[in-house]
Amino acid sequence: MPKTIHKMYLGIMVFIVGVTFILLLINGLEYYRTGLEDRSYTEGHDTLKPSGVLGHGLGILGSLLIIIGVASYMARKRYRFLSRTGLVKHWLEFHIFLCTLGPVLILFHTAFKFGGLVAVSFWSMVAVFLSGIAGRFIYIQIPRSIEGRELNLSEVRAMKSDLTEVLKSSYNLDEDAYNKITESVNRKTVSSSRYLFISLIRNFIDDRKSINLVKREMKKNNLQGKDHRNIISIVKTDIRLSRRIERLDRMKDLFRYWHVAHLPFALIMLIIMVIHVGITILFGYRWIF
């Protein structure tokens, strides 16, 4: 998938989720703001309540989107005949889209009323959603091939170019500028903090300083336009790969631990969802059928 089309693909999915949330909120804002004991007297109660025409439909559609999102991504990873049907990362992005839109619909299905066994499923869904965001962050920190395979340390190191040689062979910089740029980029502050978030902040600050120094050196050498953008791109790529090499093992460990936390919440959510749907049908709530 070309880069431009991929950006449009992601943008459309984000747009759909955002617009869906806003439209549903605007449509039922007065109802959702009404106290639970007074909702039965409001005009939209028969439509927006969990068993109402719209509310019930949102629950059905939201549940189906989650099931499709989980099942399709698991099938892509497990079944060999699907191995050539798109890249794993594109399937993952579609999985995230469906498993974000689905919970949004289910949120409005509940009419912001949580209680009983269903509340366990709902909060498990919230936990799955939040852990999914964390998992996506960890996932993109691990360098992968175009097919989605994790790269080992030697493969990642092979991706790094010799920054000094690239600058000298392609761009007209003075010797002092070469030295300052390469020294700044190679001089990384490796955080000793045990906390990943603090380490990321410290690394981000250090990397911004390096990039700003490069920009100052290019300004001194009167490099602008395309050359300016190319050098910044090369420097950012070098820094990004260096950081990924530094934390490669740590991210792989975190990703394994993440699976241990993510999967149980997903199973709890799905099991209680099935029980909830079964009880709903048993008591005769069959939507428009």
What six digits make up the tokens of 117? 């066994």
Cα separation, 212 vs 219, in Å, equals: 11
Mean pLDDT of 216-237: 73
The string of pLDDT tens digits covering residues 26-65 is 998 988 888 878 888 888 888 998 888 899 999 999 999 9
The answer to whether the CB of 148 falls within 8 A of the CB of 83 is no
Least confident among 6-10, 16-20, 48-52, 189-193 = 189-193
Residue 156 has pLDDT above 50, yes or no: yes
Residue 184 has pLDDT above 60, yes or no: yes
What pTM value is reported for the model? 0.67
What six digits make up the tokens of 55? 């509310």
Average pLDDT score, the chain: 77
- pLDDT of 216 reads 77
Residue 159 has pLDDT above 70, yes or no: no
Residue 1 has pLDDT above 70, yes or no: no
The answer to whether the CB of 173 falls within 8 A of the CB of 217 is yes
Least confident among 93-107, 238-252, 263-277 = 238-252
Task: Please give the distance of CA 252 from its chain centroid, rounded to a whole number.
Answer: 17
Mean pLDDT of 5-13: 89
Residue 244 has pLDDT above 90, yes or no: no
- pLDDT of 146 reads 47
Mean pLDDT of 59-80: 88
Closest CA to 181 of 162, 200, 199: 162
- pLDDT of 219 reads 74
Burial of 125 (0-12, 13-18, 19+ CB in 10 A): buried
Mean pLDDT of 225-233: 73
Residue 267 has pLDDT above 70, yes or no: yes
Instruction: Quickly state the pLDDT bin for 163 (edges 50, 70, 90).
Output: low
200 or 58: whose pLDDT is higher? Answer: 58
The answer to whether the CB of 70 falls within 8 A of the CB of 265 is no
- pLDDT of 105 reads 93
Q: Cβ neighbours of residue 114 under 8 Å, at least 6 residues apart?
A: 122, 123
Mean pLDDT of 138-163: 60
Cα separation, 124 vs 114, in Å, equals: 12
